[in-house]
Amino acid sequence: MTDSKTDLTTDPVTDLTSDSTKQYCGYAAIVGRPNVGKSTLLNHLLGQKLSITSRKPQTTRHNMLGIKTVGDYQIIFVDTPGIHQADDKAINRYMNRSAEGAIRDVDVIVFVVDRDRWTQADEVVAQQIQRTSSPVIIAINKVDRIDDRDTLLPHINRLTEMLPEAQCVPVSALRSTNLEVLEAAIKDHLQPNNFHFSEDQITDKSQRFLAAEVIREKITRQLGEELPYQATVEIEEFKVKGHVCHISALILVERDGQKKIIIGEKGQRIKHIGTQARQDIERMLESKVMLTLWVKVKSGWSDDERALRSLGYRDGL
């Protein structure tokens, strides 16, 4: 009879109930060289647009948290600026510090590389990863563009020789190919932990910050190679009046010539930038938006640590 009572107290159904209430939560840093597809990957993992994207390298300047909660799991993705060799300006040093800090403080690193290319910039990122103890998943991106699949295996072999403990997952961020496999691999590294954020929260950033990023994306996409990286956006007003959100944004550049480029002939370019940005912000806020854009020259802002801090460029997650 005693044995029978002991068996009942360790009933597996009771244990299963306990396990089913357990939550898993952790941070996954998405790292890689500039313009390898990190922000696109984050957006498709989340199932909605959060990080701004463009074909221009170094579009992402801040660590951006993207939060995905499904069932008992909460993955906190950290979209990082591309790690790069050039650190001659304060803004470049800031972006490198942001990305390198994220690598040190996460549960798993997702190292995004191109389908069949390996560059010196990739090597710089790999060296940073090798200095950490975090587990690594290598996301081999853009596999949908591979014409000859036989070229993928040698690439995987090179990567596993460099990071022998890493798991390789071929994906296409743009086509959402194999992302469920990548997400499952990330979940394997999460520890039992209470959720850090509410289940309906998708980022740690404010609507004010996201609006500035949308405007900067439109500038980057509109101007392509015409404008260097010395442009940023500062939100001066963000007020909701009735059913309308009134936003006033200041676009900072470093030279008079850059100001003229953004404004365009008879103000047509800045008008087009504003229209595209307003439409995206309205979708994001699900509200009518009145957007006013101004352009101002602030010489040397991108190489001034104090100016960067005043513009919201601060180290840390």
Q: Residue 96's pLDDT is what?
A: 65
Contact 245, 307 (CB under 8 A): no
Distance (Å, rounded) from C-alpha 244 to C-alpha 134? 45
**Is the pLDDT reported for residue 227 higher than 70?**
no
Q: Any residues with CB less than 8 A from the CB of 307 and at least 6 apart, and which? A: 298, 300, 301
Q: What does the block give as tokens for 286?
A: 């699900």
Greater model confidence, 14 or 179: 179
What pLDDT digit, counting tens, does each position of 100-141 carry?
Answer: 677 777 999 999 999 878 899 899 889 889 989 999 999 999
**Is the pLDDT reported for residue 296 higher than 90?**
yes
Q: Residue 141's pLDDT is what?
A: 94
Global pTM value: 0.81
Q: Residue 6's pLDDT is what?
A: 33
Mean per-residue pLDDT, 280-307: 89
What domains can be seen in the chain, in order of their start residue?
23-192 (3.40.50.300), 207-310 (3.30.300.20)
Contact 77, 45 (CB under 8 A): yes
What pLDDT digit, counting tens, does each position of 63-100 carry?
Answer: 788 999 999 999 999 887 766 555 666 666 766 666 66
Distance (Å, rounded) from C-alpha 68 to C-alpha 110? 15
Query: How far out from the chain centre does Cα 175 lie?
Result: 17
Mean per-residue pLDDT, 288-297: 96
Average pLDDT, the chain: 84
**Is the pLDDT reported for residue 294 higher than 50?**
yes
Strand 167-170 to 191-192 pairing: unpaired
Q: Residue 55's pLDDT is what?
A: 61
Greater model confidence, 82 or 278: 278
Q: Any residues with CB less than 8 A from the CB of 114 and at least 6 apart, and which? A: 36, 122, 140, 141, 142
Q: Residue 303's pLDDT is what?
A: 74
Contact 159, 113 (CB under 8 A): yes
B/e letters for 117-156, b = 16+ CB within 10 Å, e = fewer, are: eeeebbeebbebbeeeebbbbbbbbbbeebeeeeebeebe
What pLDDT digit, counting tens, does each position of 188-217 carry?
Answer: 999 999 999 999 999 989 999 999 999 989
Distance (Å, rounded) from C-alpha 308 to C-alpha 203? 22
Q: Residue 57's pLDDT is what?
A: 55
